[in-house]
Amino acid sequence: MINIKEEIAKAIAASVNLDEKELVNYIEIPPNSDLGDFAFPCFKLAKELKKAPPIIANEIKENITIDTKILEKIEIQGGYLNFYINKQTLAKEVLTEVDNKKEKYGSVNVGKGKNLVIEYSSPNIAKPFHIGHLRSTVIGGALYKINSFLGYNTIGINYLGDWGLQFGKVMAGLELWKSEYNLEENTIDAILKIYIRFNKEEKENPEMTDLARKAFKKLEDGDEEAKKTWEWLRSLSLENYEKTYNLLNAKFDSYNGEAYYNDKMDPIVEELKQKKLLVESQGAQVVDLEEFGMPPCIVITSAGTTIYATRDITALLDRIKTYNFEKMIYVVGSEQKLHFSQIFKVVELMGYGDYVKRCKHVPFGLVVDKDGEKIGSRKGNSVSLEDILNEAIEKVKNIINEKNPDLEDKDEVARKVGVGAIIFNDLSNSRIKDEIFDWDMLLNFQGETGPYIQYIYVRTKSVLSKAGYVPNIKDVDFSKITEKEAMNIIKLLYSFSDVVIQSAEKNEPSIVSRYLIDLAQSFSNYYNEYHIITDEKTLQDARLYLTYAVGTVLKTGAELLGMEMPERM
């Protein structure tokens, strides 16, 4: 397919004798199609060419060579050059590419032969999978799919929190109070209650922290009883999490959690000592980061135990060796910003700076309740994600029973729509914003939502089903779909690949979400304005193929976010 931005940049570069690779980044899409399909802001060249933008615009227009098969005309608006695309050519290019690639339309191989590692979800074991884990799971899952779509060999790691002091708290709490709780039924819930109780009592009695440290030290030293308890809780937790992962269609290539690195930390600590990076501070072994504007990074605590920073340093070095990655993405909440800054700096000081440059902490906002309080297990206000997903499914099922009781596969449709609504709600806004957990907001099936995109997709399928066929691309007369509403759709379809690339570069799935809303709304406008099934076969074929293309891209885009599309609603 013709890259129109590159063609425009090439033509401008030839007229002003500048690098086209730099110019292509300046080309914009005007907010109003009356101002053209693409625009070049000439003020970007004012300093280099030492001329006023309107003068530059006039000179380029006079000297540029236009391929009329690509561009119909060029106009000047202030300091902008506005380019108008040949509508018929664009329609042919886009729809022929859809025909060639089908569900792979928009994919490119920018990541071919490169490993990209993503750490996401990563819940702490011995606790239920609550709403606070949703964000990392769906953001990471979307980035996994988006980067795979761009050709990367993507490796998803569920870095389980199955080691450390928080686990010592669970073990110490079990030792103190297990007789007071029913561990035979709802085991995970009982353990959560013990964990919450321990944290509350710890605030009143600091000696509880020492109990937790001792319990964890026993585990770290290989105590058989402690190890059995750990294995039991890990297995129980994973079994519990899989129910939620199955609902979210979330999959991972590795479940190597913190415990995986227990026998790999000693050589790393020794390397830190040999490189004279470890210093003693209040009985602990730390890397002094004061000159970099950060507090010290604790590697060995005053009690002689490792800490999560020790394991994260070890994990990063192990991943460098195992995957030789092009990129390493950590999808972890924004409150861990300092932690990752410390980890990256320590690994850089160890001599692995080239790899550290390839690492990226992808932060996201919290899930908060209506009062703005963080939802988490320590305070006891956690909400089971499995319960939320099941309730969403049930609410959708009630809507189906009310509005379309004869619908086939109601349970399957309700699952796809209910889960899709929650996934899309999470990914519809910038990931850095806090997400308010509010049932009315989560399950709002009106407006710019996942169910709306699914509904428009189902509408495209319904139109094609009513017609009884998808036209052969050879039978499509592209001149029949050059009206403004059709061209709005075609231009959006044309931009799909750029949208996916931008989403990957910025680690921002909401760019894809916003695009899907725009495409769905554009098709809705077209559908309301024109009859797709008509008496004129040539016109019908063109409109039907455009409908097919919209449905194809809506489905592909939704699947990149982790949503499934129902065939009927």
**What whole-number distance in Å separates Cα of residue 541 and Cα of residue 532?**
9
**What whole-number distance in Å separates Cα of residue 386 and Cα of residue 510?**
23
In the block, tokens 């002689």 appear at: 304
Return the C-alpha torsion angle 127, 130, 132, 134, nearest 10: 120
Half-sphere exposure in the Cβ direction for 231 (13 Å, CA): 7
* DSSP-derived 3-state class of residue 396: helix
**What whole-number distance in Å separates Cα of residue 463 and Cα of residue 545?**
11
Say if CB 412 and CB 566 are below 8 A apart: yes
Q: Where does residue 285 fall: left (phi above 0), alpha (psi -120 to 50 degrees), or beta otherwise?
A: beta
In the block, tokens 């061209």 appear at: 487
560 Cβ contact list (under 8 Å, min separation 6): 142, 145, 146, 149, 500, 509, 512
Of 381, 1, 309, whose CA–CA distance to 164 is shortest? Answer: 309
**Phi, psi of 140, rounded to the nearest 5 degrees:** -65, -40
The packing angle between helices 410-427 and 510-529, to 10°, is 120
Neighbour tally for 357: CB within 10 Å: 10
* DSSP-derived 3-state class of residue 281: strand
Neighbour tally for 20: CB within 10 Å: 16
Give the active site residues.
127, 130, 133
**Dmax of the chain from CA atoms?**
87
- Taken in order 443, 449, 455, 458, the sign of the CA dihedral is negative
**What whole-number distance in Å separates Cα of residue 230 and Cα of residue 124?**
12
Of 185, 154, 331, whose CA–CA distance to 254 is shortest? Answer: 154
Tokens representing 64 are 């540029």
Angle at 95 between CA 94 and CA 99, to 5 degrees: 120
**What whole-number distance in Å separates Cα of residue 285 and Cα of residue 300?**
5
**What whole-number distance in Å separates Cα of residue 32 and Cα of residue 85?**
14
**E strand or H helix that includes residue 157:** strand 153-157
